[in-house]
Structure 1
Amino acid sequence: MKFTLSWLKRHLKTDATIEEVAEAMTLAGLEVEEIIDPAKALSAFTIAHVISAEKHPDADKLQVCQVETVDGPKQIVCGAPNARAGIAVAYAPLGAYIPGLDFALDKKPRKIRGVESSGMMCSGKELEMGDDHDGILELDPSQFPVGQAISDAMGANDPVIDFEVTPNRPDWLGVNSIARDLAAVGLGELITPAIEPVAGTFPCDQEITIEDTDGCPAFVGRIVRGVKNGPSPQWLQDQLKSIGLRPISALVDITNFVTYDRARPLHFYDLNKVQGAIMVRRGKDETFEALDDKLYTASASDIAITDTSGILGLGGIVGGESTGVDENTTDILIESAYFDPLTIRRTAKRLGVNSDAKYRFERGVDTGGLIDGAELATRLVMDICGGEPSDIKVAGEIPATPADVNFNTDLVERLTGLKLSDFAMEKILTDLGFGVVKGETWTVTVPSFRRDAVGGADLVEEIARIHGFHNLEAVSLPPLPGRREPTATLTQNRTRLARRALALQGLSEAITWSFVLEDHAKAFDGGQANLALDNPISNDLNWMRPSALIHLLLAGQRSANQGYPGAALFELGPIFQGTAPDEQSLSLAGMRRVEPSRDWAGAVDITALTAKADVMSALAAMGANTDNLQVMDAVGSYWHPGRSASLRLGPKNVLASFGELHPRALKSLGIDGRVVAFEIAPDNLPAPKKKSASKAKSALTLSDLMPVHRDFAFIVSEDVRSGDILRAAKGADKQLISEVSLFDVYRGKGVDEGHKSLAIDVTLTPKAATLTDADIEAVSSKIIDKVMKAGGRLRG
């Protein structure tokens, strides 16, 4: 919803600036999204006078103009056909940004065909003040002095507020209601002009009947004869253009003005095009051409406005072309109706229509404004287009006003802690349009435009909102008795540490959708039919994701496309294998794009082992015993079979998969190049064993004796994992062997085909005494025996 400061002042007497208005709205619960000040965008542009204009010596279509500007005399080369002496123009100085052309002038004069030019004379389109681009803005120098701001000269100094309207407050879709709330908070005095009834001079002889009373309880109609439709007055055009609406004609502009001014959607019919009686009924699969130049079919679930010829429009959504007003219209029928919000919402969603009328009717317009809306429209039509009005005709029954609320004022302090006087509470409610009858329990009359207020708690909210939520005293809740458990779960604490560890690894955290495209889900072993969304937010987010990698990969590709290669991202979030509670799990996923890098210290290759290092860092941070993990095949068809693996605690408990992603999976997502990634299942980590009550750390024990290193080389089959060999070697003597590492893998001469040589370094750390040769030989024998049982033999 947008409105200008001048429009607000039609209803609110105030000296507040646009910033003060926005602040007051925010404190009153109206969420301001943006303040648009056209004067700031045009601050560099001023009025200048053209003193002389001579033909460019080297170009037929250019003029060399001597111009009196706020910066003194300037020479400007201009190609506009209307550039001549004796006119006032819009002057852009050197360095100014031209919004309509999206570029900035050079900060120094430049030569155009050999003639120096300092600045620019602008057209309306170049200043985004119109569509005229055939010539520069041409003004009367007697009315616009040199140096006057172009925003003041052209009336482009009316700031606009754009704010979000919550679904429960449809009254905020009218500027008069915004003014009412601002007056209630003390920003000014409410001066909304009263709507004076217009006496009819003849009966309304247009027959109007309602068959669908559920969809349209009431239809207020009035004929105005002898109107003259044409361009609307300048004030009305400026008002609509300021909020982004295009003026069309006086009659159409009047309906748009009332829609935004009073949150009262209207529709005008060209009465001479209406054939017979007007009936409001359900559609019968009838197709008609709408005012937006599209064809729509009204089904049995839609509210149709019809005559004997067929459909005239969809009630509350869009009018039909057959009875639309134009420059030849002389007689009109004013429609001010009420339509069922739920029906409007369903029809608009099915047809994909989003009109200003639909936006208001689906939220529920003021039922008390049906007749007032017709009266206001009549007055504007007569003032602008002339004409003679009929009496008002009401078809159906206008809905009753909301029920009164019995209000216990003690509820204010009980729910908010505010201690306000009866006078203060009564003033807030009456300023908002409520009626108050005091007693032991107050009887509060709810206005028709506030049907959201149905109980005492709603009135408490209004009182607190206007008094100011920022004035609520911060009071701590009383402490609960007894011992309280930590609020964070084990998994939450673990993943918090894992996220920090991954950030230290150089990965950036992302938060992405839990929805993906169906084809993307299938590429990552998902896409089950029961995971399709019935109401997706977009066509490319129509399936629950089986993997958190999908959006990370797409984000990395987008970054690369925009010139930022080498994305390294991770995310903690849910993934889905089905719809049952135990088929949703938590995943900690990450990816790195394999991109060539340039560094003075040498390029660091990104491989599957890089992803493993990320995984080990996260698992260690979560408290997993990484020495006991088994390395097995990765889980998922989207992993590269030769460049991926999984880490497990036992054959079935998969803690993580890591490695390079399969090119087929990347191609299905449109990913270029290679990517290494990982997926960790935090829920699969076993709970730690219970510790003693003491929180003291165990003593640090360091050996005073020098460690001893021994190297071994084992021949193993190609299908034997190096991790199994390392684990077997370390298990030979857990007290003496402190570390085992792989430092070489050899295939070739001396090693049988289908086999490989693994060279390992074993670190022996004595605790009590220096190791003798016999001790070392004994440990070495144990290591060889253990490795042989794991599938290796000592290389000769």
Structure 2
Amino acid sequence: MKLTLSWLKDHLETSATLDEVVETLTRIGLEVEHVHDPAAQLKDFVIAHVLEAKPHPNADRLRVCMVDAGAGAPVQVVCGAPNARTGLRSVFSAPGTYIPGKKITLGKGVIRGVESLGMLCSAAELELSNDHDGIIELPQDAPVGAPYAKWAGLDDPVIEINLTPNRPDAAGIFGIARDLAAAGLGTLKTLPIETIEGRFAMPQRVTLDFADADTHLAPLFALRLVRGVNNGQSPAWLQDRLRAIGLRPINALVDVTNYLTFDRARPLHVFDAGKVAGDLVVRRARAGEELLALDGKTYALDADMVVIADDNGPESLAGVMGGEHSGCSEATTDVLIETALWDPTNIAHAGRKLGISTDARYRFERGVDPAFALPGLELATKLVLEFCGGEASDIVVAGSAETPPRQLRFPFGETKRLTGLDVSRADSAAILTRLGFAVEAGDDDALVTVPSWRPDIEGKADLVEEVARIVGFDNIAAAPLPRCAGVTEAVLTLLQKRTRFARRALAARGLVEAVTWSFVPKEQAEAFGGGGAALALANPIAAELSDMRPSLLPGLIAAAGRNAARGFAEVALFEVGQIFLSEDEKGQKIAATGLRRGLALPTGSGRHWAGKERTAGVFDVKADALALLQSLGVATGGLQIVAGAPSWYHPGRSGTLQFGPKAIIGHFGELHPRLLQQLDVEGPIAVFEIILDALPAPKAKPTKAKPKLELSDLQPLSRDFAFLMDRAAPAGELVKAVQNADRTLIADVTVFDVYEGAGVPEGQKSVGVAVTLQPRDKTLTDGEIEALAHKIVTDAGKKAGARLRG
């Protein structure tokens, strides 16, 4: 909702400054989102008189001008505008002035050997228009030295309010003025609306053609004919106001309806009476009917939509947009002015279904003041007669705008109980009265009649809010919550805790958190196992965000691709968020997903002298996934790592994490090259996915006590072994066999090398493992070490089918 300060003051008698108005609006719940004050950026531009303009001695297209800017002695300005001439009055900027159209601060200069101490400006340089062919030309009576913005009427700030849906009354500037007056910022101007007496009978009839169950779709429709109009341009002041709030002036008849839409929150519509065939009927649209609307598009209508039709068919989509056929032009001589009440829900559904967003729809779907429907028609008639001439007919009315008054019993003590504000009975009644409520006050409560323009007021709590926002929520005293005795019980669920811990753990491993869209294109959803009709959005915010994501990977892969395109090839990202596997509640899961692309070095990312370049791969993300499980306190004793993963992973460089075939908790590995080609992202990229919902919960009473910390005083030692084993055999089986050779002395077993090639038999591989031995009671002798090494080799052969490499 936009308005100008001068427009607001048409309805509010006030001496408040712009800052005071803005502060008060936000304080009473009409949050100001933006203020554009053109005078602020044009404050240093003044009206100047060109005393002399002579050719530049060193340039044919430049002129040397002596300029009187009202500051005493004339100043010399070099100007290249073709219309720079002696006697011209224009706009001058001195050195140090910021030029908005050029985004520069003007300084003193020397142009082709001649000093220039300022600039004569074009409209484009002041961002007033796109005209940059010459400098601004002003009338000869323009006062020299006066601020240009004030003289030109450009000192009217535009205020933009972020209007909440429950305040349809504030969709009109009069309603905003009412709120400011109630807040003590001035006096509301309530001039009576003149009733225009009809000079002749209305020749056309209006019919509401609805079944009894549908009468709510159009409670009221009223029409008036004004004949003999001269539909030219509207007055300059009206055009300026419309332009200031972002509307394009069209002609006087249309401009009047747009003006009242914003001035009084009363949308109206005008028909060219000469293009309307027969009487008007308000009804549901019929199958197969279409409307060529004022935006030049043709819309297919259905029976859920309400139209205004004549003998030729629909002429307007009720409450949303008029038709092009009966639109008013400069050739219009007879005009039908329409005012109506429409069902808000029906208007919202129709506008959303057709994708039409208009100022009329915005107001009708929130609810307009039913009591102002006919006065709004009278006000529109007055303006049409004033701007276009002509004579008006009687008003023909179908339906009724009468609604029973809504009355609420309001206990004055509710304000203190709900907000903590101690507002007296007299002040509460006065605030509600200034807001337009009728108040019959008693000793402890009041009978409050809700005004017709406030459909959002439904109970006494709403009245408390009205009182509190005018008094000021900032006047509510801060009070600490009572401290609970003892230690409070945990309020986070296990899943909520794991979600928090997962973010911390992955960030600690050097991954950077990303937050991506929950929506993905359909082809990406299908590529990651989703794309079902149940998870397609009915009203996507963009065509490429059409489906709920079945995985966090599409967003992370896209983020990695964007980073690579901007020169950041090495990225490590993670996201913890929701994924959607089906439409029911159980199909919504929380996943922790990580991605590594580019170099994997001991120091993190980028080139480094300390290590050879190595691309991050399957084992890096496997380590990330296992570290995440460990940080979450998940016991990994029974964890199985199985080769293979879903189709979007590389079939030979991926794995599945599970506690059994039916207890899969995640996957890791490199992404399939075909998928990366489909997403237009260069690889390789390694990722992991852990479903936090699938992780087993910790046992309430652990079966084993946590072992005590043992720190040996004896030096550990390490022995390396190289085993030959079947090429298809997992190295994990070998590690498990070596570990179980002696769980007391063997502290750690790690794979440090896997080799295939010369010296290794066909179909086999060489696996190097480092075994760390930790003596407990005494230093190990050579014999004991050799005996343990022999047992390691023996167990590796029995349990993993491995033999010591010669």
Shift of 1:531: 2.4
Deviations 1:452-507 (A, max 9, x none): 21222222222222222233344456677898530112222223122112223332
Native 8 Å contact 1:401 1:447 kept in 2: no
Q: Distance in 1 between matches of 2:671 and 2:429?
A: 67
Relative to the length of structure 2, the TM-score reads 0.90
Q: Does 1:612 align with 2:622?
A: yes
Give me the whole-angstrom Cα distance separating, in 2, the residues matched to 1:786 and 1:651.
27
| Same amino acid, percent of matched pairs | 50
1:677, distance to aligned residue in structure 2 (A): 1.8
1:505 alignment counterpart: 509
- Give the partner amino acid of 1:274: V
Tell me whether 1:762 sits opposite 2:771 in the alignment.
yes
1:381 matched to 2:384: yes
Q: Which residue of 2 aligns with 1:191?
A: 189
Aligned residues of 2:46 and 2:144 also touching (Cα < 8 A): no
2:18 is the alignment partner of 1:18: yes
Aligned residue identity for 2:159? I
Q: Provide the C-alpha distance between the structure 2 equivalents of 1:194 and 1:650, rounded to a whole number of angstroms.
A: 81
1:93–1:277 Cα change, 3 Å:
same
Decide which moves more: 739-748 or 604-613.
604-613
Q: Report the CA distance between 1:162 and its aligned residue.
A: 1.5
Contact 2:645 2:651 in 1 (8 A): no
**CA offsets per residue over residues 11-60 of structure 1, 9 Å max, x none?**
22233333332322222222322222223343554444434334456766
What one-letter code is carried by the residue in structure 2 that aligns with 1:312? E
Is the aligned partner of 1:785 residue 2:802?
A: no
- Matched to 1:267, the amino acid is H
Alpha carbons of 1:672 and 1:30: their partners in 2 closer, same or farther (altered >3 Å)? farther
1:87 aligns with 2:91: no
**SS of equivalent to 2:788:** helix
Alpha-carbon displacement from aligned partner over 1:243-293 (angstroms, at most 9, x marks no partner): 111122222211111100110001122333333222222223333432222
Distance 1:307 1:542, change over 3 A: same
Inter-partner Cα distance in structure 2 for 1:30 and 1:378: 31
Q: Which amino acid aligns with 1:425?
A: S
Separation (CA, whole Å) in 1 of partners of 2:612 and 2:54: 63
Shift of 1:650: 4.4
Aligned CA distance change for structure 1 residues 54 and 542 (closer, same or farther; 3 Å): same
Query: Where does residue 125 of structure 1 map in the other structure?
Result: 124
> Does 2:30 align with 1:30?
yes
The amino acid that maps onto 2:183 is V
Q: Distance in 2 between matches of 1:82 and 1:229?
A: 36
| Residue number among 177, 180, 197 corresponding to 1:182 in the alignment | 180
Q: Is 1:553 equivalent to 2:557 in the alignment?
A: yes
Which residue of the other structure, out of 365, 369, 372, is the alignment partner of 2:368? Answer: 365
2:712 and 2:776 in contact (8 A); partners too:
yes
- Structure 1, unmatched stretches of 5+, are none
Comparing 597-606 with 426-435, which one deviates more in the overlay?
A: 597-606
Letter in 2 for 1:545: R
Note if 1:726 corresponds to 2:727. Answer: no
Look up the match of 1:325: 328
Query: Which residue of structure 1 aligns with residue 602 of structure 2?
Result: none
Rounded to whole Å, the distance in 2 between the matches of 1:574 and 1:286 is 43
SS in 1 for 2:230: coil
Structure 2 residue 695 is matched with structure 1 residue 685:
yes
**Mapped partners of 2:138, 2:117: distance in 1:** 21
Which residue pairs with 2:710 in the alignment?
701
Partner of 1:494: 498
Q: For 1:735 and 1:644, how far apart are their aligned partners in 2?
A: 33
User: Is the Cα contact below 8 Å between 1:95 and 1:104 reproduced in 2?
Assistant: no
The residue type paired with residue 574 of structure 2 is F
Code of the aligned partner of 1:236: L
Deviations 1:368-399 (CA, angstroms, capped at 9, x unpaired): 10111012112222333333333333222114
Distance 2:699 2:634 in 1: 12
Q: Is contact 1:401–1:448 with CA below 8 Å preserved after alignment? A: no
Decide which moves more: 26-35 or 337-346: 26-35
Note the C-alpha offset of 1:520: 0.4
Q: Give the unaligned 5+ runs of structure 2.
A: 600-604
2:69/2:144 contact within 8 Å kept:
no
- Alignment match, 2:42: 42
Q: Between 1-10 and 558-567, report the one with greater CA deviation.
A: 558-567
**Which sits farther off after the overlay, 22-31 or 759-768?**
22-31
Report if the CA contact (8 A) 2:222-2:374 is conserved: yes
Moved more, 750-759 or 191-200: 191-200
Return the offset for 1:628. 6.3
Q: Helix, strand or coil for the counterpart of 2:216?
A: coil
Residue 792 of structure 2: SS of its match in structure 1? helix
**2:537: which partner in 1?**
533
Structure 1 residues 719 and 130: alpha-carbon distance in aligned structure 2, compared to 1, 3 A threshold: same
Taking structure 1 as reference, are residues 405 and 677 closer, same or farther at Cα in structure 2, changes over 3 Å only?
same
- Cα distance in 2, alignment partners of residues 570 and 19 from structure 1: 45
1:296 aligns with 2:295: no
Contact 2:642 2:655 in 1 (8 A): yes
Q: 1:106 to 1:759 in 2, by over 3 A?
A: farther
Shift of 1:70: 8.4
Determine if contact 1:11/1:193 at 8 Å carries over to the other structure. Answer: no
Moved more, 521-530 or 466-475: 466-475
Among candidates 313, 320, 343, match of residue 346 of structure 2:
343
Q: Which residue identity does 1:508 align to in structure 2?
A: V
Q: Is the 8 A contact 1:218 1:337 kept in 2?
A: yes
2:501 is paired with a residue whose SS is helix
Q: 1:661 is aligned with what amino acid?
A: L
Q: Secondary structure at the match of 1:631?
A: strand
Residue 723 of structure 2 is matched in structure 1 by 714
Distance in 2 between the 1:472 and 1:390 partners?
A: 55
Determine if the alignment matches structure 1 residue 743 to structure 2 residue 752: yes
CA distance in 2, matches of 1:220, 1:562: 61
Deviation at 1:405, TM superposition (A): 1.8
Classify the secondary structure of the residue corresponding to 1:86. Answer: coil
Aligned partner of 2:680 among 670, 681, 684: 670
* TM-score normalised by L of structure 1: 0.91
Please, what is the CA RMSD of the aligned residues?
Answer: 3.1
- Give the equivalent residue in structure 1 for 2:585: 581
The residue aligned with 1:211 is 209
Secondary structure of the 2:325 match is helix
The aligned counterpart of 1:594 is 598
* Farther-moved stretch of structure 1 (334-343 vs 502-511): 502-511
Q: How does 1:446-485 map to 2 (within 5 A)?
A: 446-475=450-479, 485=489
2:254 to 252, 256, 260: 252
Matches within 5 A, 1:82-231: 82-92=83-93, 98-100=99-101, 103-104=103-104, 109=109, 111=111, 120-140=119-139, 142-146=141-145, 148-212=146-210, 213-231=215-233
Q: Structure 2: how far apart are the matches of 1:118 and 1:727?
A: 85
Aligned-partner Cα distance in 2 for 1:155–1:366? 33
Q: Give yes or no for the alignment of 1:656 onto 2:666.
A: yes
- Alignment partners' CA distance in 1, 2:350 and 2:78: 57
Structure 1 residues 628-637 or 773-782, which shifts more? 628-637
From the superposition, tell whether residues 723 and 670 of structure 1 become closer, same or farther in structure 2 (CA, over 3 Å): same
Question: Aligned letter for 1:674?
Answer: P
Q: Structure 2 counterpart of 1:161, which letter?
A: I
Give the distance between the partners of 2:115 and 2:483, measured in 1 at CA.
78
Deviates more, 1:590-599 or 1:723-732: 590-599
Would you say 1:647 and 2:654 are equivalent positions? no
State the secondary structure of the residue aligned to 1:538.
coil
TM-superposed deviation, 1:597: 4.2
Counterpart in 2 of 1:287?
290
* Structure 1 residues 562 and 408: CA distance shift in structure 2, 3 A: same
Inter-CA distance 104–401: structure 2 relative to 1 (3 Å threshold): farther
C-alpha contact 2:642 2:656 (8 A) present in aligned 1: yes
The DSSP-based 3-state class of the residue aligned with 1:224 is: strand
Q: Answer whether contact 2:597 2:616 (CA < 8 A) is retained.
A: no
Q: Are the structure 2 counterparts of residues 192 and 126 from structure 1 closer, same or farther at C-alpha, using a change threshold of 3 Å?
A: farther
Cα distance in 1 for residues equivalent to 2:118 and 2:66: 11
For 1:565 and 1:53, locate their aligned partners in 2 and report how far apart those are by CA, in whole Å.
59
